[in-house]
Structure 1
Amino acid sequence: MPEAVIDEAMIESMRAKIGVELRIAHSVNNEEATRIAVAKFAGGIGDVNPLWTDAERGERSDYAGPVAPPSFVIGCFSGIQFGWPGLGSFHSSTDMDLLAPVYWYDTITARCRYDGFTGPRPSSFAGRMVTDHFTNTYVNQHGEAVAEIRWQVVNYERAAARATRSGRKAAPTVPHPWTPEELAEVERRVLAERPRGDEPLWWEEVKVGDPVATLTKGPIGLTDEVAFIAGGGTPIPRLKAHAAALADYADHHAWAFRDPVTGAQEPIYAVHYNQAAANAMGVAYQYDVGFQRQCWQIQLMTHWIGDSGWVKHLSAQYRGFVYLSDVLELGGEVTGKEIDAAGEHVVHVRTFARNQRGDDVMPGTATVALPSREADRSPVARRARSTR
C-alpha cells in the first residue's frame, strides 16, 4: 500500500473540500427495500426478529405493513473512502437520528456531505492523526427523511502505526483460544436471546437503573463479515471481480493493494476479512466493520423495546478492534426517562459492548420512545405511513 505522512499540502487540499457533497454512486449497495434485500440485510447483521422478514407479522404490527429494520439505511449507503492519500483510516464514531420507518419496496436515496476535519494531532498509535466528519442523509420516494447519520473517520500515518505496534501494551492473542466448553456456552447464550416482539414494553414500567436485555455476537467469523457485505453492508467501493475490479483499481490506485500470498489485487476494505490487508494497516488481525457494530447497537435496542417502540437517537464510539474470533456482549442501563418536546414518552440508555477480555469496545447512548398507557398511539403507530 502507498504510505504518506500528513503535510501542509495535504491539509490545504482537504480544507478546500469542506462542505462538498460527495459522489457516492460507487458505494451505494441497496436502493430499494425489496423483500429479499431486507431479508439478506437482516440475516447479514444476525437479526432474527421475524418482524423484518414476515409480511403478515408486519401487517399485524403497529407499522401496518411489511417493514425493514431501522438499520437498513446503513445497507443502502454507509461510508466512502475520501482524501488523505497514503494514510490508514478507521471509522471511529457515529451519531444518528432515525426519523421514519423504511417499508418493503421503499426506494431510498442517500447523500453524503464532507463537513471537514479536526487536527492534525499527535498520536501514540501512529505519529499524527486527523479526524474527518461526514453527514449522511436518507430520503424515501415520497421525499420524506428517514434517517441522518453523522460519522467520523480517523486517518493516521500507517508506517508509524506499524512501527509502534511492538511497543504498545501486550497485544491480545488472536485468534482467541476458545475451549469447546466455552464455545458451547456462547452459542447457548446466542440462541437463548430473543426479541421482545409484540409484547409492549410500557414506559411506566421502566425504571432508572434497569438493565437492557443483553445481545451476544460471536465468535465473529469470516462468514459473519461476508454475510454483512452480501446483505448490503456497503463495502467501499462496491465489491467487483476480475476485469470490472481491475478497471476500477487502474483508475483509483488507492482503492486496492496486492495480496502478497495470492498475488491478486484486493480492495482496502479487505482488512475485514484478509489478514495481509489488516497487517498492512498496522493491525494484527482481521476486524469488524464500524457500521456493522452500529447495526448491532440498533438491534440491541429493537430487541429490548419490542415492535411498538421506536429508536429515536443513537451514538457510539468504536474503541479498539473487534477481531475475528472475538465475542461481544452488548447491553446497557436506563439512565433517565421523560416526556420529550415532541410529547413522546422516552427513555435514555447508556449502552456497552464488551469483549471476552472485558474491554468496552463500543460505549454509547440511545434514546427510545416507548408506548405509554396514557397515550392513544404507540411511537410506531405515530410514524406508520397511512398510504403505501
Structure 2
Amino acid sequence: MTEQKPRWAVEGVLSDEMLDRHRTRLGRTWEADGLLDRSAIDIFARAIGDSNPLWQDPAYAASGPYGAPIAPPGALYRIHLGNAMHGLRGVMGYNIGTAWELLAPVYEGDTIHASIVFDEIEERDESRFAQRSIIEHYRGDWTNQRGELVARSHVRNLRVERSSTRRKGRDTKLEVPHPWSDEERLALEQAAAREPEQIRGGEPLWWEDVEEETALEPLVKGPLRMWDMICWFSARAILNGYSRSIRGILDTPALGMLHPASNAREPIEIVHVDNEAARTAGLPGAYDLGAARQSYQLQSLIHAVGDDAWVKHNSCEYRRFVYLGDAMTFQNTVTRKFVDEDGEHCIEVHGSVFNQRKEDVMPSRSVIALPSREEQTTPARRRARTS
C-alpha cells in the first residue's frame, strides 16, 4: 500500500492577477475584543512558563508598583484576529517580525479592543526560501474599556507559494529533532527549570548602576516540545474543535489539510505540532510561532529588569525557524543609556536568541525605562492607575 502524505486542499500561485486583487484589500480593518480576567492571565502565564508573581499572585501584585494584578505584555496576543492574515487563497503565510510600543499596563479584568489595518504590500525578489513572495504590513491600536491606548503594533507577514518553498527546501539537511544525548537533554532541562530563580521582582535595577555593554542574565527555553506548542495555542485562546473548526474549513478550504493520520481535514495550525504536515511546506519538521518566541523574549527582559521598570518598545525579527527539539537561549545586552524625550531614564537593549546550532533565530531591539535615584517615582508607578 502506498504511504499517504498530508496534502493541502488548495495550492495557491502568486500570480499578477492574485496580487492585484490582494491590493484592493489595502486599508481594510479587522477588529476584535478580548477580556483579560484572572483566568485568562493565569492561563497565558502558565502556557509560556512565566512564574512572575506580578501576574499570578494577587497579594504580591497589590503591594507592588501597579497596586493590583496586571497582565504580561504578550497576553495581548490572546485578542485573536486570525493573525490578520487574509486573502491569497492557498498561499502560505509566515509571521516574520513584530514591533510593540507598550504605553500602559493591562489590568486584570480589562477588556481590550484591537483594531488592525492592512496598510502595505512589499514585493520581494527571489530568495533562498521561495521564488516569489510578498511582505504584508499590518498596524494596530490596542485600547482598553476606558478608551485608553495601551499599545501599538506593527506586524510583518511573509506570503509564499508552498510549491516554491518545497522546491527550495530550506533547512531540509538539518536533523530534526536535534539528536540530544541523555546528558545534554538533562542539562538543557535543568537550565530551563531555573526560570523562577531568575525573577528580579521587587528589587529595583537602578539606571545609575547599569553600564553600557552590560549583559543581562540569559533565559533558557527548551527543548521545544509538542506540548509547548499546544500550551501556546491554549494561551492564544484559539483552540477550536469540531463544528467551530470544521465550519471554518468548509468556508475556506485552503485552511485545511487532509492528513492520513486522521483521514480528516486538519486546520492549518497542525504544522506547528506535526512533522509530516510541516514538510508539505518544504521544512524539515514542525516549528514554533514568532508570537510565542517574542512573548518569551519579553519574559526574559522583565525577569532581568524587575517590577519597577517598564518595557517601552520591543521589536523582533523572526529570522529562522525553531523546530521541535530545538533549544533557545535569550541573551540581552545593554547597548546605550540615555534620557528620552519623555524625560525617562532608559536603556537600549539588543537581544539575540541562539539555538543549539549557534544561529541567532530572533534578533531584537528594546527600549526600557528604569528607575533612577534622581526621581521620586518609578516608570511602573508612573503608569499605574490612580482610579
TM-score (norm 2): 0.94
Stretch deviating more after TM superposition (329-338 or 190-199): 190-199
Q: Structure 2 CA distance, aligned partners of 1:246 and 1:362? A: 34
Following superposition, the deviation at residue 239 of structure 1 comes to 3.3
Following superposition, the deviation at residue 260 of structure 1 comes to 2.4
Matched, 1:226 2:230: yes
Matched, 1:76 2:79: yes
What is the match of residue 60 of structure 1? 63
Amino acid at match of 1:97: E
When residues 107 and 284 of structure 1 are mapped into structure 2, their CA distance, relative to the original with a 3 A threshold, is same
What is the match of residue 115 of structure 1? 119
What is the match of residue 160 of structure 2? 156
Following superposition, the deviation at residue 84 of structure 1 comes to 1.5
Q: How does 1:80-229 map to 2 (within 5 A)?
A: 80-165=84-169, 171-193=173-195, 194-229=198-233
Q: How does 1:246-265 map to 2 (within 5 A)?
A: 246-265=246-265
Following superposition, the deviation at residue 120 of structure 1 comes to 4.1
What is the match of residue 338 of structure 1? 338
Residues 326 and 356 in structure 1, CA contact (< 8 A), matched pair in contact too: yes
Residues 214 and 300 in structure 1, CA contact (< 8 A), matched pair in contact too: yes
What is the match of residue 39 of structure 1? 42
The list of structure 1 runs, each at least 4 consecutive aligned residues, that deviate by more than 6 angstroms after superposition, is none
Q: Structure 2 CA distance, aligned partners of 1:128 and 1:62? A: 50
What is the match of residue 3 of structure 2? none
What is the match of residue 5 of structure 2? none
Residues 112 and 145 in structure 2, CA contact (< 8 A), matched pair in contact too: yes
Amino acid at match of 1:171: K
Following superposition, the deviation at residue 242 of structure 1 comes to 2.1
Residues 172 and 282 in structure 2, CA contact (< 8 A), matched pair in contact too: no
Amino acid at match of 2:54: L
- Percentage identity across aligned positions? 36
Provide Cα deviations, 1:324-360, integer angstroms capped at 9, x if missing partner: 1101000111110111000100000110000001000
Q: Structure 2 CA distance, aligned partners of 1:169 and 1:356? A: 15
Q: Structure 1 CA distance, aligned partners of 2:317 and 2:171? A: 21
Following superposition, the deviation at residue 169 of structure 1 comes to 6.5
What is the match of residue 272 of structure 1? 272
Amino acid at match of 2:118: Y
Amino acid at match of 1:187: E
Unpaired stretches in structure 1, ≥5 consecutive residues: none
Following superposition, the deviation at residue 170 of structure 1 comes to 6.4
Unpaired stretches in structure 2, ≥5 consecutive residues: 1-7
Aligned length: 376
Provide Cα deviations, 1:13-69, integer angstroms capped at 9, x if missing partner: 1111111102x55xx6xx111111101000111111111100011111111111111
What is the match of residue 10 of structure 1? 18
TM-align CA RMSD: 1.4
Q: Structure 1 CA distance, aligned partners of 2:309 and 2:228? A: 28
Amino acid at match of 2:380: V
Q: Name the SS of the counterpart of 1:342 in structure 2.
A: coil
Q: Structure 2 CA distance, aligned partners of 1:93 and 1:202? A: 30
What is the match of residue 4 of structure 2? none
Q: Structure 1 CA distance, aligned partners of 2:12 and 2:282? A: 14
Residues 260 and 276 in structure 1, CA contact (< 8 A), matched pair in contact too: no
Q: Name the SS of the counterpart of 2:108 in structure 1.
A: coil
Following superposition, the deviation at residue 191 of structure 1 comes to 2.4
Q: Structure 2 CA distance, aligned partners of 1:125 and 1:245? A: 30
Following superposition, the deviation at residue 244 of structure 1 comes to 2.9
Q: Name the SS of the counterpart of 1:276 in structure 2.
A: helix
Residues 98 and 316 in structure 2, CA contact (< 8 A), matched pair in contact too: yes
Q: Structure 2 CA distance, aligned partners of 1:181 and 1:223? A: 21
Provide Cα deviations, 1:83-139, integer angstroms capped at 9, x if missing partner: 121211211011110110011111111111101210042222211110000012211
Q: Structure 2 CA distance, aligned partners of 1:52 and 1:320? A: 30
Q: How does 1:373-388 map to 2 (within 5 A)?
A: 373-387=373-387
Q: Structure 2 CA distance, aligned partners of 1:57 and 1:87? A: 47
Residues 45 and 227 in structure 1, CA contact (< 8 A), matched pair in contact too: yes
Residues 17 and 116 in structure 1, CA contact (< 8 A), matched pair in contact too: no
